[in-house]
């Protein structure tokens, strides 16, 4: 990990270990409801050397549309690829730009996905510089069944918002329509691209 420099909400430690960027069990509304595989994958969060954590939802599936957050909100934020929606992927002067029309964002006063917090959907833009990729960009749109961002082979399954890192970067996206994208590059930037809309509360 010595060749990766991180400037985001969370920093990566030495010896290839990431700080606690873990996922939680959420049950969004309607079409964003969790699949059986997601329930099994996210029900218990375990990190090396740490205790396991469970999630308990505090709200119904109703979305109070009146509750919004702006980027100036002091809560820590991170988004997960699973169940997020990609509206387009485009190449621009050596960079690959992935636009999420509805990224699933965890917000917490502590560590998102580990401590008590809230779930939101929000537009997010992820950009990889010096990019090469495999996959048809025009077909790589829609809901994600899974995804991973790797920094020098260390997976980041919850990506801090905002986030920036230089070094060996790899992105893998699996879409529910059966398409897939594999991309690599020399740096990555992730930023908010719109207002966050509340989905639910969750707790440890």
What integer pLDDT is reported at residue 74 of this predicted model?
Answer: 62
What integer pLDDT is reported at residue 204 of this predicted model?
Answer: 61
Q: CB–CB of 111/76 below 8 Å?
A: yes
Q: Residue 189 is part of which domain span?
A: 5-203
What integer pLDDT is reported at residue 21 of this predicted model?
Answer: 36
Instruction: Give the residue ranges of the chain where pLDDT is below 50.
Output: 1-5, 8-72
What integer pLDDT is reported at residue 198 of this predicted model?
Answer: 94
What integer pLDDT is reported at residue 202 of this predicted model?
Answer: 75
- Name residue, tokens 């400037």: 7
What integer pLDDT is reported at residue 203 of this predicted model?
Answer: 76
User: How many domains does the chain divide into?
Assistant: 1
Query: Which runs of E-coded beta strand occur in 7-116?
Result: 44-45, 53-54, 56-57, 68-69, 76-92, 95-108
What integer pLDDT is reported at residue 113 of this predicted model?
Answer: 84
């Amino acid at each position: 990990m010595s060749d990766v420099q991180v400037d985001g909400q969370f920093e990566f430690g030495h010896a290839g270990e990431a700080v606690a960027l873990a996922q939680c069990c959420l049950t969004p509304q309607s079409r964003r409801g969790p699949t059986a595989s997601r329930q099994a994958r996210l029900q218990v969060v375990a990190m090396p050397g740490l205790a396991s954590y469970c999630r308990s939802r505090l709200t119904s599936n109703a979305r109070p549309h009146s509750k919004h957050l702006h980027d100036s909100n002091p809560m820590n934020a991170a988004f997960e690829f699973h169940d997020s929606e990609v509206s387009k992927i485009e190449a621009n002067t050596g960079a690959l730009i992935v636009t999420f029309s509805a990224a699933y964002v965890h917000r917490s006063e502590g560590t998102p996905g580990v401590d008590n917090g809230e779930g939101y959907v929000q537009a997010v833009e992820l950009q990889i510089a010096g990019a090469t990729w495999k996959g048809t960009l025009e077909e790589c749109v829609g809901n994600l069944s899974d995804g991973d961002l790797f920094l020098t082979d260390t997976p980041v399954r919850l990506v801090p918002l905002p986030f920036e890192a230089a070094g060996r970067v790899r992105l893998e996206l699996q879409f529910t329509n059966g398409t897939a994208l594999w991309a690599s590059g020399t740096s990555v930037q992730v930023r908010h691209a719109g207002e966050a809309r509340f989905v639910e509360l969750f707790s440890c």
